[in-house]
Chain A
């Protein structure tokens, strides 16, 4: 068997493989390249056979995106394109293949007392390729930035059969355009990330989670913003809806520093009427909760931090659960179950929420609604540029056609 046949394995696609279903469609082929060369061969196979390709890592975030516009398509899976290529702990830089899971990376880094301040639901499944391609970040966003902020370099296999390199393996680099940035948030529409280099962080001596109960989401947001105002920024924060919304904070630093932060933060928040709740500890707890399979729809709103309190109060009535990262201006809601009609109605109401700047995206939508609503939000001023970038990187329109913003 030639290596391209091995790489392709078109016999793999099985419609029963729910994991690989996109909006109710199963793939016509599953490609599982085990090397960059095989990735190129897989792409050549897809070109010859008129298949679009949709890159997939752990498939935890695969449903996000608009409807795929292709008659025949192949899932381009990175499960075999995994593992760490190079890790220089003393330089705090790690290079990995895209299929490496977040948990695997964290485990290797932990041995050198380092970590990636990136969170994800199901870290044992979510891959670094998927994390970079979605550029989504949650509770650590305010203090540590998004995946794009720690992306130093990447290699990308493109539909024209070439491997392009962007950036490098050093922490500072301004040679040429910063190509990598385009792939952060590309959602598999530009090319296949085949190698990713990221900046790591030292693991602090102490990590401590502390929690407070608020009377409302707005109250919790006000508390979090007061910490910011008083320059007591925690390393992470998340506020979750409930009878009594819970504001959880992650404190990092030396023991002396964390003790001090805890004391000052507790004073500040209790002064505002929040009530101290049980103390948890550890970084493990900081993975994101996965979206419940039964959730009909879920949205993510990025807004100005000062607007999160009012927005979350207003959106809560449509949601089963809602969480806020106030300092980063992120509000995420999972819609309550209901009839198709109810869901559509709620989606429309949420989509018409007036925003003074900011973005609303749909992490999950029923396929029927995807015909009516752009999952990635309305087109913006820069749409023609985004389209130009797509056309340049993927002139054949082979990578996830239709799935990007505005149906790119």
Chain B
């Protein structure tokens, strides 16, 4: 092993980074850096040593090589909308932001492929090809802000991934800087490279296998038409049973999302869409496809809602109506922010047939812990997002919130599900990994990580539990006077 050079002073680090990217692209003053101490999981924060904003793959590679030479951790970061602390610099180091890697590089509509830099905002991919009748299907609710690189790292989902598949089903290639600074192309325009599916392994790796700089995505035709229904229920049970019945009936809607009363009321207060705030829960059910036959499908779905005592099933009559429903769904968590000083969104997955039972138990967990939980989630996938409302300043309540969160995850695992469907492990769920995986499984993941990330400088302290527990050594520059 080569000995690391002595830790550089912070000034040395900044000036060497500035040589690579220019001094305007190195942020090290604490005001400029403040937003980089966490992502949308704000419970834990840590200051980076500095932030760099490269514009090319080559610059990223040089930054990574420099960090290796100096033994400094580096942390890939997209828009920072992650909900698990994936980009929080827990051990300090250089945050490599993809904010300026935001160009679309190639659109090949005939072959339905697009290559974009990793910092491209998700929705911009779809906007760029809308005129060609295409879109990039994975549509996280954060799509107006989150980057395609972040989506790749977290294998993100969205309402329409029920029918179209999550990020992993739409990525055919990545160009990335490996943790040793080497640039590699993995996959490309053409899918299914012979050999192990490395693209599939990198998707969902939470920035621990290197920094993705370019992504090649599959483009999907825009559906010819939609039927978007809002089904209104008097009880949560009727609503969840409807979800299970729709899936079991063999109809796969484009999207199937549930919103409960508390969130409905918050959305109504914020946007005045005219939602029935006295209902216990609603479902947004969107069917899409060819015009021919879609009304029959919509009737079948209506029938299932009716059988489960839906009070009313409204059809979005115009594009504007449809847009309003989706806006309500996508802004729902934001609106829920009005309900309490603090809110944490849990993320667990269960088999869809267990939805009625599990939501009852989630409510019971809330009652037992004396906290309020509301729900807005990808019901068709069985991907729960219980939102816990609380006040961070109340230590006792915070404790109960954390306990309730753990109880919910355990419940998901007990019914055969998972501890995260789309938000990832990050730092938030490291300690829950052992609920799902054996020591051997985790050891195997760790050794595979080492194939890429030999010296653990790339996004350290994420996803996998370590033997040292949670408190890790923090990288610090050598004081300037040494």
Residues of A participating in the B interface, judged by any CB pair closer than 8 Å: 88-93, 113-114, 135, 137, 141, 145-146, 148-149, 158, 162-166, 168-179, 181-186, 190, 201-203, 225, 228-229, 231, 233, 253-257, 259-261, 302-306, 329, 357-359, 361, 376-377, 380-382, 385-386, 388-393, 404-405, 408
Kindly provide the distance from the CB of B49 to the nearest chain A CB, expressed in whole angstroms. Answer: 27
From known contacts A178-B200, A202-B251, A259-B292, infer whether A172 and B195 are also in contact, taking CB-CB under 8 Å: no
A177 lies within 8 A of B293 (CB): no
| 8 sampled A-B residue pairs with Cβ under 8 A | A172-B161, A172-B383, A174-B420, A176-B463, A177-B449, A179-B445, A302-B190, A303-B190
Residues of A within 8 A of B450 (CB): 392
B192 lies within 8 A of A165 (CB): no
Nearest neighbor of A392 in chain B, beta-carbon distance: B447
From known contacts A182-B201, A302-B192, A386-B195, infer whether A170 and B418 are also in contact, taking CB-CB under 8 Å: yes
B205 lies within 8 A of A177 (CB): yes
Nearest neighbor of B110 in chain A, beta-carbon distance: A306
A170 lies within 8 A of B353 (CB): no
Q: Does B371 contact A (CB under 8 A)?
A: no
Residues of B within 8 A of A92 (CB): 247
| 4 closest Cβ pairs, A-B complex | A181-B200, A202-B250, A260-B292, A257-B293
Partner of B436, one of A175, A186, A261: A175
A170 lies within 8 A of B194 (CB): no
- Complex Cα gap A385–B477 (Å): 32
From known contacts A145-B169, A385-B451, infer whether A256 and B193 are also in contact, taking CB-CB under 8 Å: no
Kindly provide the distance from the CB of B376 to the nearest chain A CB, expressed in whole angstroms. Answer: 16
Known: A175-B425, A184-B196. 11 other contacts (CB 8 A): A92-B247, A168-B436, A174-B423, A257-B294, A260-B290, A260-B292, A261-B290, A382-B185, A392-B447, A405-B194, A405-B195
A389 lies within 8 A of B192 (CB): no
Nearest neighbor of A173 in chain B, beta-carbon distance: B418
Residues of A within 8 A of B111 (CB): 304-306, 329
From known contacts A178-B155, A257-B290, infer whether A163 and B440 are also in contact, taking CB-CB under 8 Å: yes
Partner of B224, one of A169, A225, A231, A305: A231
Partner of A135, one of B192, B201, B417, B436: B192
A146 lies within 8 A of B195 (CB): no
Kindly provide the distance from the CB of A195 to the nearest chain B CB, expressed in whole angstroms. Answer: 14
- Complex Cα gap A240–B195 (Å): 27
Q: Does B58 contact A (CB under 8 A)?
A: no
From known contacts A176-B433, A253-B290, infer whether A164 and B444 are also in contact, taking CB-CB under 8 Å: yes
B417 lies within 8 A of A170 (CB): yes
Kindly provide the distance from the CB of B234 to the nearest chain A CB, expressed in whole angstroms. Answer: 24
Q: How large is the interface on B (under 10, 10 to 19, 20 to 34, 35 or more residues)?
A: 35 or more
Nearest neighbor of B438 in chain A, beta-carbon distance: A165
B200 lies within 8 A of A377 (CB): no
Kindly provide the distance from the CB of A32 to the nearest chain B CB, expressed in whole angstroms. Answer: 25
- Complex Cα gap A168–B442 (Å): 14
- Complex Cα gap A130–B231 (Å): 44
Residues of B within 8 A of A171 (CB): 349, 352, 381-382
Q: Does B289 contact A (CB under 8 A)?
A: yes
A146 lies within 8 A of B186 (CB): no
A177 lies within 8 A of B194 (CB): no
Kindly provide the distance from the CB of A377 to the nearest chain B CB, expressed in whole angstroms. Answer: 6
**Interface positions of B from 412 to 438, Cβ below 8 Å from A:** 416-425, 429, 433, 436-438
A361 lies within 8 A of B194 (CB): yes
B352 lies within 8 A of A190 (CB): no
Residues of A within 8 A of B203 (CB): 178, 181
Q: Does B448 contact A (CB under 8 A)?
A: yes
Nearest neighbor of A156 in chain B, beta-carbon distance: B444
- Complex Cα gap A232–B315 (Å): 26
Kindly provide the distance from the CB of A64 to the nearest chain B CB, expressed in whole angstroms. Answer: 10
Kindly provide the distance from the CB of A160 to the nearest chain B CB, expressed in whole angstroms. Answer: 9
B440 lies within 8 A of A173 (CB): no
A168 lies within 8 A of B192 (CB): no
A185 lies within 8 A of B196 (CB): yes
A404 lies within 8 A of B195 (CB): yes
Residues of B within 8 A of A145 (CB): 165, 169
Residues of B within 8 A of A382 (CB): 184-186, 198
Kindly name the residue among A149, A179, A382, A388 whose own CB sees the greatest number of chain B CB atoms within 10 A: A382
Nearest neighbor of B294 in chain A, beta-carbon distance: A257
A113 lies within 8 A of B425 (CB): no
- Complex Cα gap A260–B293 (Å): 9
- Complex Cα gap A166–B200 (Å): 13
Q: Does B166 contact A (CB under 8 A)?
A: yes
B250 lies within 8 A of A114 (CB): yes
B154 lies within 8 A of A174 (CB): yes
Q: Does B464 contact A (CB under 8 A)?
A: yes
A88 lies within 8 A of B293 (CB): no
Kindly provide the distance from the CB of B90 to the nearest chain A CB, expressed in whole angstroms. Answer: 18
B436 lies within 8 A of A302 (CB): no
Q: Does B237 contact A (CB under 8 A)?
A: no
- Complex Cα gap A177–B112 (Å): 28
